[in-house]
Amino acid sequence: MSASSAAVAPGFADLVLDSQAVFRSVLDAMARPGTILSVAGRVPDRPADLPEAAAGLLLALADYETPVRLPARMAGGAVERWVVFHTGARIAESDRDATFALLDAREDAALAAFHPGEDRYPDRSATVIVLCDALEGGPSMTLSGPGIETSATVAPAGLRAHFHDEIAANAERFPLGADLVFVAGDRLFALPRSTRIAVGGTR
């Protein structure tokens, strides 16, 4: 083992069981938009500024065929080394090139910068992992659509001004548009591109 790889924190606590558990959580989150799930304890060691839920998602989903995009503050440092070492993924050359993207919800690229899929292949859109301060306590969004019986409400905190409008605009592009997963600490919820979103109010 090289000196550089030896300095990289471990990935899943249990490679098989934790990978399967996080993957099931992702599927469940996509099937039930807005439902908050936890992956606590799955990735106990990771770079300090990488939330456990984001780390688990990348470990379970990313590989050498899926370029990963990182916020500028994470590029070239411990997070980049950790992601490349554990997933085999390359760092995306541009926002549009990314299959999976970590997006700083406070100050980062617009959602429209990421690949929305193609008319013939909408499933080729990016999955954007939105890094939040918390998954509750912010301005609310009312959700409807597949996987939601009537409606649901989410209120992630720490999003930049007008980011809710970007989320709604992304949903209006369906069947194109990015799939979104919001993370804070070890918790996550998903807004697949099929989810209809109304912005307004507080929670």
- The confidence score (pLDDT) of residue 1 equals 33
Using an 8 Å Cβ cutoff, are 125 and 193 in contact? yes
Domain map of the chain by residue range? Answer: 3-202
CATH class of 3-202: alpha beta
Which helix (H) or strand (E) segment is 82 a member of? helix 78-87
Is the pTM above the cut of 0.85? yes
- The confidence score (pLDDT) of residue 7 equals 64
The residue-averaged pLDDT of 79-83 equals 96
Q: What is d(CA 147, CA 59) in angstroms, rounded to the nearest whole number?
A: 25
pLDDT at 106 over 90: no
pLDDT per residue as tens digits for the range 153-165: 999 999 998 899 9
pLDDT at 203 over 50: no
